[in-house]
Structure 1
């Protein structure tokens, strides 16, 4: 069945792949963006574009006031509760199902050492205090509090949305192309430079998912009818050292390893994804619903081969 779908964001990374897949399946897609990024595909009879700042309440109301509504909204760029508040107001009575892309980082403050993996019910958002007075519109504040901002956005939707709501708590996303964070290129650069690899004593493992696999998962979620939080992670968890060894294609010689001397008063010199203990998410809910995630090992190997 062809649907009317709104994607807020969706011009890069896994969002771009999601838009392309939705169009290939014959859905009618509207992209809502600020217009600062090149469109992922050409506009046509099944792809429309609305240029709007999703953080501007007046602009959002004006952009969607005459809309008949959407079967699904995929919100790729909801970073804090002020954005969620606007969405709850603008799309009241105008959406069949609202799917927000969240993050593994919502578990950061709740993840106790020794936890095998974070399940969705580790966090209770029903009684969460929502901090609307925080300076969420300040870019530096929002970036520094990224995980908490997503946590607060989820809480706002959970407590206030008058429509079916899903939050997709994504593991760390990787891609050979369009990986704008540079976190994985860091490992490739260390290998190319034959530089020593600094690691923490804990060497905890964490969860990952490829951009194409996340897009496929979001597509699948849109075809289901469940609500609430659900984790997203490929099979296999890896430590920072694991990633370095995948990037190098071999077991790293001890001469290239350097246990970091961590100073609480100085910036860390650790590589991205270096955790003092495991920080992984459970995908049991998705498995129980019938979804099978792809394996990470081969995809990470291919990615590092082209970085």
Structure 2
């Protein structure tokens, strides 16, 4: 698909900012829409609006039209509904950055990797009356918010929709601090709490997911698509990789959590591995987790 004009909603930090830079450097005209909490990269158009304010969003966009919209910050069905209305007639293609968290509760212990068909959204209930405007509710319902946002767009948006379900993103300026949690605790000799039978999960490097989003924006396919590097890890594998890293002298103090006790960020009691067969068949070539994980660890070493 010929892509010359792209609107990015959000994109002020982490791999969203890299998406903007990759598009700009490829000669695409990029318009960034966000609240202005951080300056947009040079060489792009920056519009200021709160995407939750439909009137303000329409006013900021004016009569602009785009080949593709990349929505980095759609967390709720209410936000998806506003986007479906505001961008009707403004774009042919809409890409929502989603998450592996939409599969929460669907995997099973020692189960197979989760493909897109593991989550059937055709009949998924969408409730616009829930308190999605409350930050604490939205954060607690992160996976469900993303599921309902996907469902609303895929069922009712008046343009082609792609939802990119990203694996756990590592590397670079990771504001979540999840990988740093492990390098820090191992260096300090502090225990790392895990489930009795930690399960496999998928990961992707921040530059790779940015490339994937740009690639998907140029495509013609629709619907959900998984994005993850080849090679899954459980929490013990991750700790072992940190132990092997040059300069790491300590060893992980693995502590099996009792039922109901909190565990460390990447410990799961159900399969969180993603099947990327669809993306590969569509033509994207993923790296292997083992290729980039050492650099990601280096970036967050104490």
Q: Distance in 1 between matches of 2:252 and 2:193?
A: 9
Q: Which runs of 5+ in 2 are unaligned?
A: none
Alpha-carbon shift at residue 32 of structure 1 (Å) = 0.3
- For the structure 1 residues 85 and 259, does the alpha-carbon distance in structure 2 shift closer, same or farther, using more than 3 Å as the test? same
Q: Would you say 1:99 and 2:95 are equivalent positions? A: yes
Q: Is the 8 A contact 1:199 1:257 kept in 2?
A: no
Residues 1:274 and 2:274 aligned together? no
Q: Secondary structure at the match of 1:158?
A: helix
Gaps of 5+ in 1: none
Aligned residue in 1 for 2:178: 183
Structure 2: distance between partners of 1:262 and 1:124: 33
User: Structure 1's 112 and 277: CA in aligned 2 closer, same or farther, altered over 3 A?
Assistant: closer
The worse-fitting range, judged by mean Cα deviation, of 108-117 and 96-105 is 108-117
Distance 1:79 1:255, change over 3 A: closer
Contact 1:201-1:259 within 8 A present in 2 as well: no
Give the secondary-structure state (helix, strand or coil) at the position aligned to 1:234.
Answer: coil
Equivalent residue runs for 1:62-101 within 5 Å: 62-67=59-64, 69-101=65-97
Give yes or no for the alignment of 1:287 onto 2:288: no
- Tell me the C-alpha RMSD between the 2 structures: 1.8
Aligned length: 297
Counterpart of 2:113 in structure 1 is 117
Distance 1:195 1:113 in 2: 27
Q: CA deviation at 1:255?
A: 8.1
State how far apart, in whole Å, the 2-side matches of 1:171 and 1:295 are.
Answer: 13
- 1:234 to 2:229 alignment: yes
Cα deviations by residue, 1:146-197 (Å, 9 ceiling, x for unpaired): 011000000010111010000000000011x311011110011012212233
In the alignment, the residues of structure 1 paired with residue 92 and residue 231 of structure 2 have an alpha-carbon distance, to the nearest angstrom, of 34
Give the match's secondary structure for 1:71: strand
Tell me, in whole angstroms, the C-alpha distance in 2 between the residues paired with 1:263 and 1:285: 36
Deviations 1:49-102 (A, max 9, x none): 1100001111112222422x1000000000010000000000001101100000
Aligned to 1:299: 292
Cα–Cα, structure 1 residues 2 and 287, in superposed 2: closer, same or farther, change >3 Å?
closer
CA distance in 1 between counterparts of 2:5 and 2:14 reads 22
Q: Secondary structure at the match of 1:238?
A: coil
Question: Would you identify which runs of 4 or more consecutive aligned residues in structure 1 move more than 3 Å?
Answer: 252-259
Q: Is the 8 A contact 2:193 2:255 kept in 1?
A: yes
Q: Distance in 1 between matches of 2:95 and 2:63?
A: 22
Superposed displacement of residue 114, structure 1: 4.2
Write the distance in 1 (CA, Å) between the matches of 2:154 and 2:191. 46
Please give the alpha-carbon distance, in whole angstroms, between the structure 2 residues aligned to 1:120 and 1:2. 26
Quick check: 1:127 aligned with 2:128? Answer: no
Question: In structure 2, how many angstroms separate the alpha carbons of the residues matched to 1:276 and 1:108?
Answer: 11
